Amino acid sequence: MRSRDPTVKMTSFPWRSDATSVSQVPANFVLPEDKRPNLSDVSCLSIPIIDMKEMIDDPDRNPSPLLVEAIARACEDYGFFQIVNHGVPEELCQRMLKTVTKFFELSTEEKNKFFSDDVNKEVRFFSRYLKVENDEKVSMWSEVLYHHWHPQEDFTPPLPKNPPEYREVIAEYAKEIGALVTRLLSLISQGLGLEKDCLKRRMGETPTRRLQANYYPPCPEPELTLGLAPHTDFNALTIVNQSDGVTGLQVNKDGKWVAVDPIPNSFVVNIGDQIQVLSNDKYKSNLHRAVTNKHRRVSLAMFYGPGKDTEIGPIENFIDEEHPRVYRNYRYAEFMEEYHRQVGLRKRLKEAFRFDN
């Protein structure tokens, strides 16, 4: 039995270039047996793949009912789908991932300039943990860079200057993702039978936009640990760009884990808690996790959510006798506070806002 050292520091992470490489996962990263990933038990299903080509050909046209319906199905069944022909230049997606990867390859000292436990920091470099019995923290096999993004304003001054192209690339990428979010929210609104701009308007005047870059180093014993523990995203919509050829993301479907195999030049899109609440549970904010493997994997999640003072609650259209109102209304800031209270646990986030709680 490897014993855990509760004083683990960022600098003692085994994959760092300044540490000797390891052939075993150190005890701090070893999960209790019931929390391990069981890698051989993966479903043979896959999440839906949706071709958005018709929107590139003519972005102003009304989407075909087929496209709206495909997205609606995916949101109800999985809360997850992959999109191809999404209109964001492939070269830019690659350059963005490469730039983020370069950040993670910097020295520990350089990255630690952004290290913080303060959740209100504009830019944060940190690592994750999962709370197990006796409030013991088990470290996750990953590192995270977290900061805001904006499609129009210059949000880059507080961001890393190293790698030198970081600010420029992220500014260009943010513009494209901003446009893609608008297109997707419109398609999702239409699939719900709402006005095109309904969900976007529900996010308020100043939506919250956050970027989460995840770095999963090669792991010698992937069956003992996780890169990212099972969770749902607490925002409204997430768009993920991930390394080609390396799997890791898994989505829960009826209690089984479904692997999301990366397809070249695609994004993974998923519904977050806020759309689940707005749709009064019609659409799912689904549980997902990231397992590690022998290869390095990088993913970049672009989160989009309501402004902090925006009120969120089920939209009237989804409430009737058969579907009573599931959640109370709340300000998004309240939801975020609950999220921070549950860090390391994150088990019953939406549930805290349910009427039958």
**Positions that interact with Ni ion (CB under 5 A):** 233
Among 200, 209, 282, 288, binds ligand OGA (CB under 6 A): 288
Residue 292 C-beta: closest distance to ligand OGA, Å: 11
Structural tokens at position 192 = 């719900």
Asked if residues 330 and 312 have their Cβ atoms less than 8 Å apart, the reply is: yes
Residue 288 C-beta: closest distance to Ni ion, Å: 6
Binding mask 153-192 for ligand OGA (x = CB under 6 A): ----------------------------------------
Residue 13 C-beta: closest distance to ligand OGA, Å: 17
In order, the DSSP letters of 145-180 are EEEE--SSS---TTS--SSTTHHHHHHHHHHHHHHH
Q: Which is nearer to ligand OGA, 241 or 310 (CB)?
A: 241
Residue 110 CA: distances (Å) to CA of 81, 156, 195: 36, 18, 47
Binding mask 204-223 for ligand OGA (x = CB under 6 A): --------x-x---------
Q: Which H helix or E strand runs over 321? A: none
Asked if residues 111 and 166 have their Cβ atoms less than 8 Å apart, the reply is: no
Q: Which stretch binds ligand OGA (CB under 6 A): 51-59, 174-182, 240-248, 349-357?
A: 240-248
User: Binding to ligand OGA by residue 277, rule CB under 6 A?
Assistant: no
Q: Residue 242 binds what, of ligand OGA, Ni ion, none (CB under 5 to 8 Å, by partner type)?
A: ligand OGA
Site for ligand OGA in 120-159 (CB under 6 A): none
Residue 300 C-beta: closest distance to ligand OGA, Å: 8
Q: How far apart are CA 122 and CA 114, in angstroms?
A: 10
User: Binding to ligand OGA by residue 242, rule CB under 6 A?
Assistant: yes
User: Binding to ligand OGA by residue 301, rule CB under 6 A?
Assistant: yes
Q: How far apart are CA 89 and CA 339, in angstroms?
A: 34
Q: How far apart are CA 267 and CA 93, in angstroms?
A: 9
Q: Which residues contact 347 (CB under 8 A, 6 or more apart)?
A: none
Strands 42-43 and 256-259: parallel
Residues that bind ligand OGA (CB under 6 A): 212, 214, 228, 233, 240, 242, 248-249, 288, 290, 299, 301
